[in-house]
Amino acid sequence: MATARRFVAFLLLCLLPLLPTTSAASHGDSVVLGVADEDIQSESAIFSLYRRWLAIHRPHDINYRVTGRDWDLGRQNTLLKRYNIFKNNARFIHASNKRTDVTYTLGLNKFADLPNEEFRAIYTSSTTRVLRQQGGVMGRSFMYQNDTQPLPASVDWRSRGAVTGVKDQGPCGSCWAFSTVVAVEGINQIKSGQLISLSEQELVDCDKKVNQGCNGGLMDYAFQFIAENGGISSEDDYPYTATDNKCDLTKKHLHSVVIDGYEDVPANSTDALMRAVSHQPVSVAIEAGGIEFQFYWKGVFGGACGTNLDHGVAIVGHGESKEGIKYWIIKNSWGSDWGEDGYIRMKMNEAEGLCGINMMASYPVKSTPNPSKAKISDTLIYLPTGRKFGQPLAS
């Protein structure tokens, strides 16, 4: 064991300077690496794979050594720890991809040097489940209940212009805000014909009655906040910072899009969820903390996961693979360098659904038109303190 540790330490000290600098990972390079048989045949082969991954995802660790800065023991031990985690993850991914009974592929993405426990702590939260258990959050009746139209074989709201580009929540437990915004952006485009990127940060900063900012929240409460607030600002007006901040009362009232409320999809019903998705993007909660979900790369995901709802995402369509597997099209908030350019296709299951996707779905309702830009400008009458006339000191 000591000999192996010294060997890896030697690799860190002597081979990291040979790595390409940040410019080597060009825009056209894949940000997810596969794991071939030869990549795990020896310690040096795995380290070579690690070098390639570092060049894409941790170039600052390369530059630290190459630029001649002091290489202290603590830095070396940190990299050694991350390398050993990477090695275990690479072996897990290789073994999973060798299976013949799966319809998805795992890959070394930006989370490859994180143990699953650390990944779950940063990117998922049990707050969604806890808030739901506290009760009292129910939308109005399900408007698509009596829809007798045949369900379409496939729906993709991306191709219909109702979905903005993939966003990245970063190290902030704001998945609930991103899920909410996808659904509101979608219904707004469907009703108004305008696709407007909306502000997750407004929800993080200002929706604090029940939701908890970067510590988690629930999409139903966020829909309720937007309706009661009279709308939500655009991302341009209230940009994302991935941190908890004091609510900016001026930006909070720069309403770009309004909604009238929300409805809940009947729980544990694939048919009801499909009917809702055929009309608009839908917010859902899932369990996303599993190691297979962490390293999902492509294909129709059907991996191991439970129903401990810990992550908010949005369904933006559904389809069927050439193998005849029906799936949901899910927009995630972990950036475009995860999954299929930021998306995951998840196998449709009955009852609670894969990863609990059928358990807690909801969507916004919109009939009220958005305020005109002229009207928004007319209402911004400021006092010397910077507050708007008639506006309270706190939200």
**Cα–Cα distance for residue pair 294/117, rounded to 1 Å:** 11
Pair 243, 316 in one domain: yes
Pair 321, 349 in one domain: yes
Domains in the chain: how many in total?
2
286 within domain boundaries: yes
Q: Decide the pairing of beta strands 296-301 and 343-347.
A: parallel
Q: Which of 55, 36, 53, 99 minimizes the C-alpha distance to 299?
A: 99
Pair 136, 28 in one domain: no
Q: 48-67 burial, b if ≥16 CB within 10 A, otherwise e?
A: ebbbbbbbbbbbebbebbee
391 within domain boundaries: no
SS3 364: strand
Which domain does 93 fall in, by range? 2-101
Question: Going residue by residue through the chain (395 aa), what tens digit of pLDDT does each one get?
Answer: 555 555 444 444 444 444 443 333 333 348 999 999 999 999 999 999 999 999 999 887 765 554 445 545 566 788 889 999 999 999 999 999 999 999 999 999 999 999 999 999 999 986 555 455 454 455 568 999 988 889 999 999 999 999 999 999 999 999 999 999 999 999 999 999 999 999 999 999 999 999 999 999 999 999 999 999 999 999 999 999 999 999 999 999 999 999 999 999 999 999 999 999 999 999 999 999 999 999 999 999 999 999 999 999 999 999 999 999 999 999 999 999 999 999 999 999 999 999 999 999 999 999 999 998 655 444 443 333 333 323 333 33
| pLDDT tens column, 7-55 | 444 444 444 444 443 333 333 348 999 999 999 999 999 999 999 999 9
163 within domain boundaries: yes
CA separation, residue 106 to residues 112, 165, 208, 246 (Å): 11, 23, 37, 39
**Cα–Cα distance for residue pair 317/52, rounded to 1 Å:** 35
111 within domain boundaries: no
Pair 120, 87 in one domain: no
Pair 318, 292 in one domain: yes
377 within domain boundaries: no
187 within domain boundaries: yes
3-state secondary structure 143-158: CCCCCCCCCCCCEECC
| Cα-based angle 181, 187, 188 (whole degrees, multiple of 5) | 85
Pair 358, 223 in one domain: yes
Q: Whose structure tokens read 């995630």?
A: 332
Pair 80, 124 in one domain: no
The tokens describing 364, both together, are 């916004």
Pair 7, 62 in one domain: yes
Pair 179, 89 in one domain: no
Residue type, 83: Y
Q: Choose one of 101, 134, 158: the last residue of a domain.
A: 101
Pair 21, 60 in one domain: yes
Stated length of the chain: 395
SS3 66: helix
Q: What is the pLDDT of residue 140?
A: 63
370 within domain boundaries: no
Query: Residue 298: which CATH number?
Result: 3.90.70.10
Cβ-proximal residues to 164 (8 Å cutoff; 6+ apart), any chain: 182, 185, 195, 197
134 within domain boundaries: yes
Residues 332/339, Cβ–Cβ less than 8 Å:
yes
Cβ-proximal residues to 62 (8 Å cutoff; 6+ apart), any chain: 16, 19, 20, 21, 22, 54, 55
Question: Which residues are known catalytic residues?
Answer: 175, 311, 332
| pLDDT tens column, 279-316 | 999 999 999 999 999 999 999 999 999 999 999 999 99
